[in-house]
Amino acid sequence: MMPLRATHAKLALSALGLAVLTGCASVSLDQNINRVNDEAGSFTGGKLALARTLDERDQRAQAAQALLAQPLEQKDAVQLALVNSPSLQTLLAQGWAESADAAQAGRIANPIFSFERMVAGDELEFGRALSFGLLDLLTLPARHGGATRRIEQAQLRLTSDVVDQITRVRQSWVRAVAAQQTLKYAKQVYDSAEAGAELAKRMQAAGNFNRITRAREQAFYADAATRLSTAQHQATASREELVRLLGLDEAQEQTLKLP
pLDDT at 92: 87
Q: How many CB atoms lie within 10 A of CB 118?
A: 9
Percent pLDDT > 70 in the chain is: 72
141-145, 196-200, 209-213: segment of lowest average pLDDT = 141-145
> Predicted confidence band at 26 (pLDDT cuts at 50, 70, 90)?
low
The C-alpha atoms of residue 247 and residue 51 are separated, in whole angstroms, by: 15
Confidence (pLDDT) at 109: 61
State mean pLDDT over 129-149. Answer: 64
Tell me the domain boundaries of the chain.
4-255
The residue ranking higher by pLDDT, 115 or 169, is 169
Render pLDDT for 47-100 as a digit per residue (tens, 0 to 9).
Answer: 888 888 899 899 999 999 999 999 999 999 999 999 999 999 998 888 878 877
Q: Say whether pTM exceeds 0.85.
A: no
Q: What is the mean pLDDT of residues 237-245?
A: 96
Q: Which of 33-37, 159-163, 214-218 has the highest mean pLDDT?
A: 159-163
Q: How confident is the model at residue 173 (pLDDT cuts 50, 70, 90)?
A: very high
- pLDDT for res 152: 84
| Separation of alpha carbons 74 and 54, rounded Å | 28
Single out the residue of 96, 125, 93 nearest to residue 3, CA to CA: 125
Q: Give the pLDDT of residue 46.
A: 87
Please state the rounded mean pLDDT for residues 31-60. Answer: 88
User: Is the model's pLDDT at 4 over the cut of 60?
Assistant: no
**pLDDT at site 81:** 94
For 143, counting Cβ atoms within 10 Å of its Cβ (0-12 exposed, 13-18 middle, 19+ buried), the class is middle
Query: Is a pLDDT exceeding 60 seen at residue 12?
Result: no
DSSP state of 122: T
Confidence of residue 180 (pLDDT cuts 50, 70, 90): very high
Contact 76, 146 (CB under 8 A): no
